[in-house]
Structure 1
Amino acid sequence: MPHLFSSHRLRREARTVEAMIRRYCRDHHGATTEPCPDCRDLLAYAQQRLHHCPFQHRKTTCANCPVHCYKPAQRERIRTVMRHSGPRMLLSHPVLALLHLLDGLRRPRRKP
């Protein structure tokens, strides 16, 4: 992932999304080492959308973004993942969880 994203902020966002998807997959699909194919597809989609985000290092969290670049089906899937994994992230990945919460406090930027 280090060469895919241009800033530390986006690399951290990608790690956070990956941790959330892995947690969801482990809890719902019984994955132990690697996410199941459906969750791998969602992770690839989320990383691709993050890579093409028009706000890049100035972005807020996707939930607070004025531009919704996810297709409706994937947006609902990632919401489900985040609803499940978000509260549990405080125990398994406290630093990522707190930084994600702080990122959510950023003011949404206008599209560049």
Structure 2
Amino acid sequence: MSLLQGTLATEFRTITAMVRIHCRDHHQPDDHCCPDCQTLLEYAQTRLDRCPYGEQKAACKHCPRHCYKAQPKAQIREVMRYSGPRMLLRHPILAIRHLQNERKDFPTKPPLNASNRAKRRQHSPE
């Protein structure tokens, strides 16, 4: 179950669709992701959950803060390079939203406590 909400949940659905396309064509022909791709999805979900820009974020590609480690970043680039063109046929609405999100500007400074993780901490009873 995903803890992401709003635009971050949409972005995670987009990443999930891209990883599944890539995995199906390169690793595993059925609908389930291989363990490596599943690990990458879990990493992406964690990074989105902890994004300091929260709901205001644009595409990670243009972010002034690079929170992905080198190896997962290279894997995501490979996945997106392969799956991006195929997304227009298989998931056109997600693909168009992603392209629109890439054109969005980042705020100069992340808003205070904007990440999903910080919001959960504020609202959780202690």
- The TM-score, its normalising length taken from structure 2, stands at 0.83
Instruction: Find the aligned partners of 1:69 and 1:111 in 2 and give their Cα distance.
Output: 15
- 2:50 corresponds, among 45, 49, 52, to 52
What is the alpha-carbon distance in structure 2 between the residues aligned to residue 111 and residue 75 of structure 1?
Answer: 23
Matches within 5 A, 1:81-100: 81-100=79-98
The percent identity for this pair of structures is: 50
1-side partners of 2:105 and 2:27: how far apart? 35
User: Which residue of structure 2 aligns with residue 12 of structure 1?
Assistant: 10
Structure 2 unmatched runs, 5+: 111-126
Number of the residue aligned with 1:42: 40
CA RMSD of superposed structures (Å): 1.1
Q: How many residues are aligned here?
A: 110
Q: In structure 2, the residue corresponding to 1:40 is in which secondary structure?
A: helix
Q: Which amino acid aligns with 1:77?
A: Q
Work out the CA distance in 2 between the residues paired with 1:97 and 1:64: 17
Q: Tell me the TM-score normalized by structure 1.
A: 0.93
2:58 is paired with a residue whose SS is: coil
| Superposition deviation, residue 64 in structure 1 | 1.1
CA contact (8 A) 1:66 1:109 kept: no
Flag structure 1 segments of 5+ consecutive residues without an equivalent: none
In our comparison, the structure showing a higher alpha carbon Rg is: 2
Match of 2:28 in 1: 30
Shift of 1:33: 2.0
- 8 A Cα contact 1:54 1:111, kept in partner: no
Give the secondary structure class of the aligned counterpart of 2:107. coil
